[in-house]
Structure 1
Amino acid sequence: MAGNSGKGKAEPGDLLERDDGFAKHWGVCTDKGVVHLTPENDASKSKIMTEQTVRGTVSEVGFENFANGRSVTVHKTTTPPSETIERARAKIGAHDYNLTKYNCEHFAKEAAGMCQSGQVERVERVVKNVLDYTNQEQNFSG
């Protein structure tokens, strides 16, 4: 992503990345808080790891609610803030959520004019490497 990142002061139009340990949660900073995509309920959350598409919700919440007491990294973008916020707010309401195809990181980056998930890309690389290694081991021993 173009731009700077760090734990500095968030400004409207910035992308925010909350540290949840293994995973990160992303949103778009606005003048009123943060717009973000989440799975709709706990039943949906249990289906996420199966790569099923579940019902999600795009909502605008206060910064403290989004941060949830955790560390938040600010990502600056080259997209005009008004465009990023407009794209994010246009999706407020019900929205599909899929861990690998359209998650909170996809949502936030799409609002800034790009749609990708570095988290998903890293996991896909690890899985591919494990599968390649497993196949090599089978060929070597067999």
Structure 2
Amino acid sequence: MTPDSSAIVAAFAPWHPLHRVARRKLRGIDDLVAHAELETYSVLTRLPAPFRVEGELAADYLRRRHPGARLVLPSAGRVRLVTRLAVAAVSGGMVYDALIAATAADHGLTLLTCDRRAVSVYERLGAPFEFIDA
């Protein structure tokens, strides 16, 4: 298992409605998809006040809670992904959801998500995922 950014943000933020369940689901998960880590950092540092956090806090949380490997999609997989995106009619910002899903799948991992919108992308790519719900 590895989380997408929606699951990491939920586990981080005590104000998030899925905080407790996400925190429990992510406990012990060390490895992150590299793009999910960067996306999470971006979200946490750009949230509106009072939810926004300093970059140092976001980076420390990611390192401390998920100290393992940062997973990337190998070059050949990236080349194939572009074709898969076109065939699956994935475009715009959904491409980044697809990159995270394809990377997790390439590493044999199921993606944990709280993002209902991303589910359609994960399904179109045939990427295994588990939806975190209350």
- Same fold? TM cut 0.5: no
TM-score, normalised to structure 2's length?
Answer: 0.28
TM-score, normalised to structure 1's length?
Answer: 0.27
Structure with greater proportional helix content: 2
Which one has a bigger Cα radius of gyration? 1
Structure with greater proportional strand content: 1
